Structure 1
């Protein structure tokens, strides 16, 4: 089983009828290599030995897009379990933050892009993302299990089923 993280940096204010130009945006990356190559997601990756999930999210975001994040500024937003052919493949810790330093830069691993929350390219993301990510981006917490079948690699397997719990306590 892999243990991994995803981080969703957010910027801008809430969109309201009084201030329609003040749009909230999320930073996504287009993966340039590895699992999910060519798809969009948040920065993230596998935990290294001795690393906490929070430390991993900070490191991966710095390595993939150059943003500096204080671990205390990360808000845990979700815990996702991915099953492949009936066995746990990946357990993912999901974070969001509105506090970071720097401007995103492209790297060998990822091409970053800001998206308005209403323009997130779900058609170019993992099939399960459209089920849980909108809630996370709007401030909710989620615990989910997603079942895939068809053998390795995971990004070529078929999405079969899911179970979601909303507004749950998620802890490091």
Structure 2
């Protein structure tokens, strides 16, 4: 089973007059690999003995150039993805409002700040609309998502899910 991370940096912006505030999330359009052409948060597979927090920080830096202290990451979710009845991926989901730098494109990802109310769920994994809005509202989630007809996972059919909200998550 693959162990992976997703990271959702957030910021608030005001309009030129300082009156209108917009909450935004940093999404990437994947340029290669699993989910190519779809939007998601920066992230990827754990390497060696790194912790999920270290992985989320490293992947965000590699994909979009933001520097994030792993301790500034808030654990927001634990998602298990099953493919044809077998565990495929366990994903640690993080969010943060603390980072340095400006996002820049890489060979792997094209970053884009998106207003939270305009997240393009129609261009994301089919399950994202079930859990990501709650995560962006500050909730925690544990979820299991079942896909059939793979591999690969991004060509399989999403068939079912279970979600549990506002749970205490592991600190690893």
Deviation at 1:49, TM superposition (A): 1.2
Deviation at 1:146, TM superposition (A): 0.1
* Length, aligned pairs only: 168
Residue 88 (1) aligns with residue 87 (2): yes
Residue 53 (1) aligns with residue 29 (2): no
1:13–1:165 distance in 2 versus 1, CA, 3 Å: farther
| Counterpart in the other structure of 2:41 | 42
Residue 11 (1) aligns with residue 40 (2): no
User: Per-residue displacement from partner, 1:11-63 (whole Å, max 9, x unpaired)?
Assistant: 0069xxxx871010000000000000000000000000111100000000000
Please state whether the residue corresponding to 1:126 is helix, strand or coil: coil
| Counterpart in the other structure of 1:26 | 25
Mapping 1:1-172, distance limit 5 Å: 1-12=1-12, 21-171=20-170, 172=172
Deviation at 1:168, TM superposition (A): 0.3
Deviation at 1:151, TM superposition (A): 1.6
- Tell me the TM-score normalized by structure 1: 0.95
After TM superposition, the structure 1 stretch with the greater mean CA deviation from structure 2, 27-36 or 4-13, is 4-13
Whole-angstrom CA distance in 1 between matches of 2:19 and 2:116: 13
Unaligned runs of 5+ in 2: none
Whole-angstrom CA distance in 2 between matches of 1:60 and 1:112: 13
Whole-angstrom CA distance in 1 between matches of 2:131 and 2:63: 23
Please state whether the residue corresponding to 1:23 is helix, strand or coil: strand
Across the aligned residues of Structure 1 and Structure 2, the Cα RMSD in angstroms comes to: 1.2
Unaligned runs of 5+ in 1: none
Deviation at 1:128, TM superposition (A): 0.2
